[in-house]
Chains A and B, each alone.
Chain A
Amino acid sequence: MGESIKVATMAQMFAEGKTPEVLFWVGCAGSFDDRAKKITKAFVKILQKAKVNFAVLGTEESCSGDPAKRSGNEFLFQMQAVTNIEVMNAYGIKNIVTTCPHCFNTLKNEYPGLGGDYQVVHHTQFINSLLKEGRISLEGGGYKGKRITYHDACYLGRANGVYEAPRQLIEKLDAELVEMKSCKTRGLCCGAGGAQMFKEPEKGNKDVNIERTEEALAAKPEIIAAACPFCNTMMTDGIKNKEKEAVVKVMDIAELIAKAGDL
């Protein structure tokens, strides 16, 4: 807390006549949610350590429109999308990285039809390529042999087929990756998708995040790794509900890597 982070905005870069290699799309959760802000900062540390020339949109960024679209408000979604696309096209943005699978999916799959064509990657994919290119390295970092289970985010996994990038990162930590009963293509949702994050669940006999937390706990992990700010919230709530917060931590992959790299 307290230390301020220097992050360039697109506007600043543009004024200086510079072009970043990638735009970091922070997303609403990453900008405003207290838990997700820590993920944002962890990822920024990784970017800075790897000397990635990046920028954010800052106050020019607006909701990608995902929750509006999944709620059925196509109108609001497209208004958001078209506005964001105008901003990004004006800056000539080509590459985007984001820590939110919902933004990732929307920007990658739903913006092209509205005039926004970008190379969009999720931060787990981006960190993987940084490691492959040797721009960052990991040395131990205290995760050796720790039991880590990875919770697949629906909008990363099933929606876009990204199952391996986050798992490869966990394996690079020398940790013991343990799988839950349902994982990868059959991974169980955390309960936040489809705009459920913003409403009370419909009547049922259990909340989805509790069901998923039970599956996670059955794998007896020390850490539940997530790759989505909303999954993170849902799993954290689940762990609190089960009163396990002292023994099981919910962490984003970016946080794991940032800690392991001693950033």
Chain B
Amino acid sequence: MPYLPNIVFFLALTFGIGYFIKNVRKLLRNIKLGKRDFPKDNPSQRLKNMLMVALGQSKMTVRPVAGILHIIVYLGFIIINIEVLEIIIDGLFGTHRVFSFLGSAYNFLIASFEVLAFLVIVAVVIFWIRRNIIKLRRFLSPEMKGWPKRDADVILYIEVVLMLLFLTMNAADNQLQLLEVEHYTKAGLFPVSSFLLPLFEGLSAESVIIVERLAWWLHIIGILCFLNYLYFSKHLHILLAFPNTYYASLKPKGAFKNLESVTQEVRLMMDPSANPYAAADENMAPPEKFGASDVMDLSKVQLLNAYSCTECGRCTSECPANITGKKLSPRKIMMDTRDRLEEVGKSLDVNKGVIQDDGKQLLGDYISEEELWACTSCNACVEACPISIDPLGIIMSMRQYLVMEKSQAPTELNVMMGNIENNGAPWPYNQMDRLNWTEE
């Protein structure tokens, strides 16, 4: 069976990519549970934002240390993925370094992959130290306990292992090239992995081939596993950061959306020719629910936001409420939204696509009123997010539900709103006294 490795490789690739696509479909189905379609206006500005913020990482370097380290890992993963293409072709057709016909350009590519791989290892080690030894405050918030903390560490471990396998594979390949073993034709330049060559001293060609094959297979299978890990992890941001920045709001941050369902009602109330005794139009749909108590009430963009969040906590560390010890954490708002959406998604899987009331909702079971009422709507979280997630929009939607559907505002706010209604100011002053300051 000379073709056995090729067949095994083909099956692994098909299964790895197939399972990933299956989960991506699930993800899209869940996001589509949201209201309002994705915005289609101003595609050129949106594309520009995506290129700047996601591809160009423009918001990452606001914090230089984490920003630069992140850019190294990011570039490393994007560029080293060119190598994955070669690995796939080699795997399918049994070739050895199929791109080596590029000559010196190939040598340059392989050399830069190696340097990047080394830098990625350094960056990832520093990331691990920041999380586990320095213990930066934003990585230790209550919402990070358990799985989110483990998830973050697992991602770092996988990245180190993949990079080490990549370098080992190159080193063994290099050794076999030096031994002039058949099939291993001279190709590539190995500035980093050549330091590993002494490890193979005294080993027979057969043993080195075993090491090379093992590293090669583990590397590509590791990549396929990592690809499939994404769906179950916060690490999805490496893909979703792109659509997320594309669909981010183009308006000034202070512009909150006006609810159309409310506008209709207000217009009707203000219309002097409206007949107050008119029977309701039977064809008219009942008014939409005001605000959000569960994920299905949020917009598709907000649900995409939730899946895109990588729990870096920059939002939370800039949040005035969180800084001063309140329960609110914008990151937790995003994590809760995602976790609840996943829960709804799982129930869709079980119930064959039909939404069943499980007696739970985002409000109360995940996000408490105390968190919602701690927000100052200052937009620090929105500004801080490196991929333009908007936790504030979700907080406001849920406040709308509490106030307009449940009349559950804090008492003082009810007093304030009563004042506005009665005398056009948040305080109990008469509107007729608005000019008194000119006389004082």
Contacts and interface: CB of A to CB of B under 8 A. Distances in A.
Contacts of A193: 376-378
A210 B432 CA distance: 35
A37 B440 contact: yes
B56 interface: no
A205 B425 contact: no
B401 A72 contact: yes
Interface stretch (B170-178, B185-193, B253-261, B339-347): B253-261
Contacts of A192: 376
Given A4-B438, A109-B252, A196 B263 contact: no
Contacts of A28: 424-427, 429
Given A72-B401, A198-B412, A78 B258 contact: yes
Contacts of A61: 424, 434
Interface in B412-434: 412-413, 415-417, 420-421, 424-427, 429, 431-434
A125 B161 CA distance: 55
A67 B266 contact: no
A7 B373 CA distance: 39
Q: Give the interface centre of B262, B267, B403, B420 by most chain A CB atoms within 10 Å.
A: B420
B311 interface: no
Given A28-B426, A32-B425, A72-B409, A202 B327 contact: yes
A58 B424 CA distance: 12
A194 B403 contact: no
A62 B431 contact: yes
B435 A105 contact: no
B375 interface: yes
A70 interface: yes
B104 to A, nearest CB: 45
Contacts of A7: 435, 438
A94 interface: no
B374 to A, nearest CB: 4
Nearest to B406: A72
Given A78-B263, A203-B326, A71 B416 contact: yes
**Most chain-B Cβ atoms within 10 A of its Cβ — which of A30, A71, A160?**
A71
Interface string A163-194: 00000000000000000001001101101111
Contact of A194 (B62, B259, B376, B433): B376
A76 interface: yes
A105 B378 CA distance: 12
A76 B404 CA distance: 10
Contact of A71 (B255, B376, B413): B413
B438 to A, nearest CB: 5
Interface range for A: 35 or more
B320 interface: yes
Nearest to A184: B383
A206 B378 CA distance: 17
A31 B432 CA distance: 11
Candidate in B62, B382, B415, B416 with the most chain A CB atoms within 10 angstroms: B416
A40 B436 CA distance: 12
A98 B291 CA distance: 30
B290 interface: yes
A185 B383 contact: yes
A47 B201 CA distance: 86
B425 A160 contact: no
A28 B270 CA distance: 23
A74 B259 CA distance: 7
Contacts of A6: 438
Contact of B376 (A58, A110, A182, A196): A196
Interface in A5-49: 5-7, 9, 26, 28, 30-33, 37, 40-41
Contacts of A221: none
B435 A198 contact: no
A202 B251 contact: no
A206 B244 CA distance: 34
A154 B379 contact: yes
Given A71-B403, A110-B256, A195 B413 contact: yes
B404 A72 contact: yes
A118 to B, nearest CB: 14
A62 B425 CA distance: 6
- Report, nearest first, the 7 A-B pairs whose CB atoms are least far apart: A159-B254, A72-B399, A194-B377, A205-B325, A62-B424, A109-B255, A189-B378
Given A30-B437, A185-B383, 11 more contacts: A7-B435, A28-B427, A32-B434, A71-B409, A71-B417, A155-B254, A158-B253, A194-B377, A200-B410, A202-B373, A204-B326
